[in-house]
Homo-oligomer: A and B are copies of this chain.
Amino acid sequence: MQLLGEAGAGNDAAPGLSQQIHGQIKARILQAQLAPGARLPTSRALAQALAVSRNTVLRAYEQLESEGFIRSRMGAGSYVSDLAAPSSSASPTTPSRAASPRTPDSPLWLRLQDYQPSPVVQGPGRAFRHGLPALDLFPHALWSRLQARFWRAQARPGPRASLSYEDAAGLPRLRELIAGYLSHSRGLHCRADQVLVTAGSQQAIAMAALALLRSGDRVGMESPGYRAAAAALGLSGAQVLPVPLDGQGLRIGSLQALGRLRLVYTTPSHQYPTGVVMSAQRRLELLAWARQNDAYVLEDDYDGEYRFSGVPLAPLASLEGESDARTLYVGSFSKLLFPGLRLGYLVAPAAWLPTLARLRSVLDRQASIADQAVLAEFMAEGHFLRHVRRMRRAARERRDALLQAWAQELLPLHPQHRLQPVPAGLQAFLPLADRTEETRLAERARRAGIELGALAQMGGLPAHSQQAGLVLGFASVPTAEIAPAVRALAQAWRDGSS
């Protein structure tokens, strides 16, 4: 009996050897190469054949017996059991349909087949990767010091942040600090008991969708829009319908035509991905519509801090009283600190928080405790506000560099490619005539080493894709690299135009 394969066992320590022998015999039993009733070699014989100690073989046999694969009769050797064989290979000549694993066929599983998340791109930010802030400005050393302080406190006796299960809604101190920040900086007056700490804005959207929607509900969403949000809104089986945009944002007049909507998802501060800022008038109309239609508004303020000029408009959520709030407000630290942090928040009526916290505890219990504690320190000591200001300055500088280079380097060669205004945010939008053009230009850029977001890859659900265009993230690209990248882009697009 050839028990050990080419990998052999000779180089391994004794426990590993025993495990290998056990695994090989088990595999042969499961594959019916050792039939029920078959007699195994004696431990002495097998030990000799494999040049291992007899104890090594005995350990393997003992485990096989405790698992029910073999029976040992005192003095009579070890035999393969005739237990109900769980493997389909037990009868390899008659493969039955039930033998192969059931491919999942839940409605969500099937919907997920259509969902193509944005591809993950590795390495430091290149021009013009979108969705990233100025990661090069993150204060690594400071963050690391705060982390070290957290762990030193763990080693000391006395009261301390716990490493254990905590409030699913988030560390109370962090919720206080977020509420304070929103009041002070975003004009959104809320209390800590309205704030649920989430694993980034994505979880906030997913939780709102799971909590509020039921299968068959109709949901309106800006189109083009944020594809990952569309997928999250569909988690409960809701039908996500596109709502067109104009220069003032989501078109309220189009909502009635979609039938009874339970929720509308919007990014009013800086529409993703086109960059339109929803007008004040439109904001009030949307809230009035929600009241009249007994619907919710999910306001995703993913990069509202990045406003470069003019007066910041009040978030939708700040235009309502708490007692008649229809707006759930979603915020994120991904665009202010770094996306890998996975911390964001949902602001909701206080009366809803206990149920939302229960949902969080069912989904994944709570956010990473060290990340929460370190972020709270970072905010409490004033580093956060300073960092936000630094990030806004950097994004404005990089936007200006992009617009200037675009005007000087690209427009003279391609006068038809005008960027939309960029009053806010981390990316610029270039509308295009059609998807063919979009694919062609993105592909030429790619070959020249420039990353561009194509609407087909990022905007809303596939079925929504009417518009065409390219997204250029500028915030993560150091200023000095921007003009050369625009030149390269202008050249790449020119070379191919024939």
Q: A: which residues have CB within 8 A of B?
A: 16, 19, 22-23, 26, 30-31, 59, 62-63, 66-69, 83-89, 98-104, 106-109, 112-113, 115, 117-118, 120, 122-125, 131-132, 135, 138, 140-141, 143-144, 147-148, 151-152, 154-155, 159, 162-168, 184, 187, 189, 198-200, 202-203, 206, 210-215, 228, 231-232, 235-236, 279-281, 283-285, 287-288, 290-292, 294-296, 310-314, 319-321, 323-326, 338-342, 349, 351-352, 355, 358-359, 361-371
Closest partner residue, chain B, to A231 (CB atom)? B362
Partner of A200, one of B85, B312, B364: B364
Partner of A86, one of B135, B287, B323, B362: B287
Please give, as numbers and ranges, the residues of chain B lying within 8 Å of A102 by CB-CB distance.
294-296, 326
Contact A98 B323 (CB under 8 A): no
Partner of A144, one of B140, B148, B359, B361: B148
Q: With both chains docked as a complex, state the minimum distance between the C-beta of A44 and any C-beta of chain B, in angstroms.
A: 20
Contact B228 A132 (CB under 8 A): no
Contact B163 A135 (CB under 8 A): yes
Residues A106 and B212 in contact in the complex (CB < 8 Å), given A98-B291, A117-B361: yes
Closest partner residue, chain B, to A287 (CB atom)? B86
Please give, as numbers and ranges, the residues of chain B lying within 8 Å of A132 by CB-CB distance.
164
Distance A127 CA – B112 CA, assembled complex (angstroms): 46
Please give, as numbers and ranges, the residues of chain B lying within 8 Å of A115 by CB-CB distance.
358, 362
Contact A364 B342 (CB under 8 A): yes
Please give, as numbers and ranges, the residues of chain B lying within 8 Å of A168 by CB-CB distance.
117
Contact B340 A368 (CB under 8 A): yes
Please give, as numbers and ranges, the residues of chain B lying within 8 Å of A23 by CB-CB distance.
187, 189
Q: With both chains docked as a complex, state the minimum distance between the C-beta of A355 and any C-beta of chain B, in angstroms.
A: 5
Closest partner residue, chain B, to A22 (CB atom)? B187
Contact A138 B165 (CB under 8 A): no
Distance A159 CA – B124 CA, assembled complex (angstroms): 8
Q: With both chains docked as a complex, state the minimum distance between the C-beta of A40 and any C-beta of chain B, in angstroms.
A: 17
Residues A68 and B281 in contact in the complex (CB < 8 Å), given A144-B147, A159-B123, A323-B100: yes
Partner of A123, one of B109, B152, B162, B287: B162
Contact B98 A364 (CB under 8 A): no
Instruction: Give 4 nearest A-B pairs by CB, closest first.
Output: A340-B369, A86-B287, A68-B280, A144-B151
Q: With both chains docked as a complex, state the minimum distance between the C-beta of A497 and any C-beta of chain B, in angstroms.
A: 33
Q: With both chains docked as a complex, state the minimum distance between the C-beta of A382 and any C-beta of chain B, in angstroms.
A: 14
Q: With both chains docked as a complex, state the minimum distance between the C-beta of A156 and any C-beta of chain B, in angstroms.
A: 10
Partner of A211, one of B86, B108, B123, B312: B108
Contact A364 B361 (CB under 8 A): no
Contact B280 A349 (CB under 8 A): no
Partner of A85, one of B26, B199, B288: B288
Closest partner residue, chain B, to A102 (CB atom)? B294
Distance A442 CA – B214 CA, assembled complex (angstroms): 40
Contact A236 B89 (CB under 8 A): no
Please give, as numbers and ranges, the residues of chain B lying within 8 Å of A236 by CB-CB distance.
106, 108
Partner of A104, one of B212, B311, B324: B212
Distance A166 CA – B325 CA, assembled complex (angstroms): 35
Partner of A88, one of B211, B324, B367: B324
Q: With both chains docked as a complex, state the minimum distance between the C-beta of A7 and any C-beta of chain B, in angstroms.
A: 12
Please give, as numbers and ranges, the residues of chain B lying within 8 Å of A339 by CB-CB distance.
163-165, 365
Query: A107, A115, A140, A363 — which one has the most chain B CB atoms within 10 A of its CB?
Result: A363
Please give, as numbers and ranges, the residues of chain B lying within 8 Å of A22 by CB-CB distance.
187
Contact A141 B155 (CB under 8 A): yes
Closest partner residue, chain B, to A208 (CB atom)? B104
Please give, as numbers and ranges, the residues of chain B lying within 8 Å of A144 by CB-CB distance.
147-148, 151-152
Partner of A365, one of B148, B202, B287, B370: B202
